[in-house]
C-alpha cells in the first residue's frame, strides 16, 4: 500500500478526485456553474436583459427550397428573402450551415424596418450522392432568435 501511495499517477488521480468533490460541494451551495437563468434574460446568440434589448419581427419568403435533381459536383444556390416587419432594426447575428457543404451569405447585416434583404444559400454537392436535406440556421434579434432554412433535393 505504501508503494501505491508513493506513485505519482496515484497521487494525481487521488488529488484530482478530491478537488472535484470539493468543487461539487461548493457549487451546490453557491451555484457557480448553474445553467439556470433569471426570468427576463434573453438566451439568443448573446445573453442580455430583455428590457434593454430591441426585438423586432421578421418575415421570410420561404423556409424550404427543393432544388430537384442535380449532378454531383454542382453547386446549388437559392436566394431567400427576409423582411423586417417590426419597428426596430433587424440584425442578422450569424448564419450557420448544418455541415461544411452548405452556407449562407446575407446582403445586409442590419435591415431597416419595412426593408428586405437577401440571404443567399449555397450547397456544394461534391461527394454527396442520393437524397439530400440540409439546413441553415439564421440567428437574428427576433423572438425566437433562430430560423431554419431547409434545402432538399437529390444528387445523381
The model's pLDDT over 92-131, given as tens digits with 9 standing for 90+, comes to 988 999 999 999 988 767 899 999 999 999 999 999 999 9
Q: Which pLDDT belongs to residue 1?
A: 60
Residue 51 pLDDT > 70, yes or no? no
Residue 43 pLDDT > 70, yes or no? no
Instruction: Give the H or E element holding residue 105.
Output: strand 102-106
Q: Would you call 14 helix, strand, or coil by DSSP?
A: helix
pTM for the model: 0.65
Averaged pLDDT for residues 57-72: 95
Q: Which pLDDT belongs to residue 49?
A: 61
Which is more confident, 25 or 134? 134
C-alpha cell at 112: 431597416
Residue 80 pLDDT > 90, yes or no? yes
Torsion of CA 30, 52, 82, 85, to 10 degrees: 140
Confidence of residue 64 (pLDDT cuts 50, 70, 90): very high
Amino acid at each position: 500500500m505504501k508503494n501505491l501511495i508513493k506513485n505519482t499517477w496515484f497521487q494525481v488521480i487521488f488529488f484530482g478526485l478530491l478537488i472535484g468533490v470539493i468543487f461539487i460541494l461548493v457549487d451546490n451551495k453557491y451555484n457557480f456553474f448553474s445553467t439556470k437563468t433569471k426570468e427576463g434574460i434573453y438566451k439568443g446568440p448573446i445573453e442580455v436583459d430583455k428590457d434593454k434589448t430591441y426585438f423586432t419581427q421578421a418575415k421570410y419568403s420561404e423556409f424550404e427550397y427543393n432544388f430537384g435533381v442535380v449532378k454531383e459536383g454542382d453547386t446549388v444556390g437559392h436566394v431567400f428573402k427576409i423582411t423586417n416587419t417590426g419597428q426596430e432594426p433587424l440584425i442578422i447575428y450569424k448564419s450557420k450551415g448544418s455541415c461544411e457543404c452548405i452556407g449562407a451569405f446575407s446582403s445586409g447585416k442590419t435591415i431597416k424596418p419595412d426593408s428586405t434583404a437577401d440571404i443567399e444559400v449555397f450547397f456544394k454537392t461534391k461527394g454527396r450522392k442520393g437524397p439530400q436535406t440540409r439546413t441553415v440556421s439564421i440567428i437574428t434579434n427576433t423572438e425566437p432568435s433562430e430560423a431554419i432554412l431547409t434545402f432538399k433535393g437529390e444528387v445523381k
